[in-house]
């Protein structure tokens, strides 16, 4: 999505979603000693660092303040050589589009072979219950195409690629070192637990719910309870909370219940995302809210 289109989407979505308690991004900062994030309006991009290597997860909007906020984290964009793309939606690949600031021109994009069909134009991305086609994303970065279950070793960092279609046809989630699960737009954290992501933005909502159930079972079968880190609604290490409503979908047409006192009225306002806060300790995990609140 071009810079012009990104700014247009900001205006439209800010108006359409304010007050609904749907987008609840983390502010810029560190989750722990390995994982940092940058907030770009309502979306987060993430950085995983180990053994002197930093991997970027998703590339956000075509956003003017990315380098500034990476500086708050002491991460140099020129050191990024590997970017894991969960899916090609315009709020997850903007920093590698052809008219972006070009911070990551030398980085390789890792994405599913199915998802790449959006980038080649073989498939067009549809949202608003399939009624609207998003602008085609254009990127000249080198691409490494992935299959479901593929394992990567990136300078001693173990990355497992798990296909979770539904939101998009080739959506991937990434399990890193068996301890961190970056879920993109497969899971939405409500105040009372995790749901399948926003209904109006999915290619196939029923498929998305099945994918979520299969993901839970894969993790259970291996006895894994990683930190689960979402693209728009924060993180938690409470495994039961993550999959509590896996058979339900976030309804974008109404205000969410129960009320979440931590949810911003307008997720596109970034007044509290500051360098001082980014350097002031680790970012808290999602805190469940009871149905009575």
Mean pLDDT score, 138-143: 96
Q: Do 70 and 38 contact (CB within 8 A), yes or no? A: yes
pLDDT of the residue at 3: 79
pLDDT category at 284 given cuts 50, 70, 90 is: very high
When pLDDT is cut at 50, 70 and 90, the band that residue 217 belongs to is very high
Rounded mean pLDDT, 223-233: 98
**Residue position matching structure tokens 């129960």:** 258
- Cα dihedral 175, 45, 30, 35, rounded to 10, equals 20
Q: pLDDT tens digits for 152-182?
A: 999 999 999 999 999 999 999 999 999 999 9
Fold held by 21-264: Metallo-beta-lactamase; Chain A (3.60.15)
pTM confidence score: 0.97
- Residue ranges covered by each domain of the chain: 21-264
Share above pLDDT 70 across residues of the chain, in percent, rounded to a whole number: 98
Residues 6+ apart with CB under 8 A from 230: 44, 183, 184, 185, 187, 188, 189
* Per-residue pLDDT tens over the stretch 44-78: 999 999 999 999 999 999 999 999 999 999 999 99
CB 21 within 8 A of CB 275: no
Measured CA to CA, the distance from residue 266 to residue 67 in angstroms comes to 23
CA distance 116 to 123: 9
Mean predicted lDDT score pLDDT of the chain: 95
Which of 11, 81, 71 is closest to 42 using CA atoms?
A: 11
Mean pLDDT of 204-233: 98
Instruction: Give dist(CA 211, CA 186) in Å, integer.
Output: 8
pLDDT reported for residue 293: 46
3-state secondary structure (DSSP) of residue 228: strand
Residue 100 is predicted with a pLDDT of 94
pLDDT of residue 291: 53
Q: Which of helix, strand or coil describes residue 229?
A: strand
pLDDT in tens, 77-130: 999 999 999 999 999 999 999 999 999 999 999 999 999 999 999 999 999 898
């Amino acid at each position: 999505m071009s810079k012009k289109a990104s700014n247009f989407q900001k205006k439209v979505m800010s108006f359409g979603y304010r007050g609904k308690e749907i987008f609840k991004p983390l502010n810029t900062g560190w989750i722990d000693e390995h994982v940092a994030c940058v907030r770009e309006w309502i979306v987060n991009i993430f950085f995983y660092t180990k053994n002197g290597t930093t991997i970027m997860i998703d590339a956000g909007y075509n956003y003017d303040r990315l380098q500034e906020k990476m500086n708050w984290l002491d991460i140099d964009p020129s050191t990024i050589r590997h970017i894991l793309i969960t899916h090609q939606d315009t709020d997850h690949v903007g920093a590698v589009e052809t008219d972006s600031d070009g911070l990551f021109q030398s980085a390789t994009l890792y994405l599913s072979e199915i998802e790449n069909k959006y980038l080649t134009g073989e498939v067009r991305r549809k949202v608003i219950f399939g009624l609207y086609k998003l602008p085609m994303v254009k990127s000249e970065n080198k691409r490494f195409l992935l299959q479901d279950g593929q394992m990567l070793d990136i300078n001693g960092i173990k990355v497992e690629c798990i296909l979770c279609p539904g939101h998009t046809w080739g959506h991937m989630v990434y399990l890193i070192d068996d301890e961190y699960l970056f879920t993109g737009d497969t899971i939405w954290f409500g105040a009372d637990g995790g749901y399948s992501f926003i209904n109006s933005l999915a290619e196939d909502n029923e498929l998305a719910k099945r994918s979520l159930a299969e993901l839970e079972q894969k993790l259970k079968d291996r006895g894994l309870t990683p930190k689960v880190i979402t693209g728009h609604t924060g993180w938690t290490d409470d495994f039961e909370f993550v999959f509590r409503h896996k058979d339900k979908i976030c309804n974008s047409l109404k205000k969410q219940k129960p009320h979440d006192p931590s949810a911003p009225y307008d997720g596109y306002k970034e007044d509290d995302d500051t360098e001082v806060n980014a350097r002031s300790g680790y970012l808290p995990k999602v805190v469940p809210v009871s149905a009575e609140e």
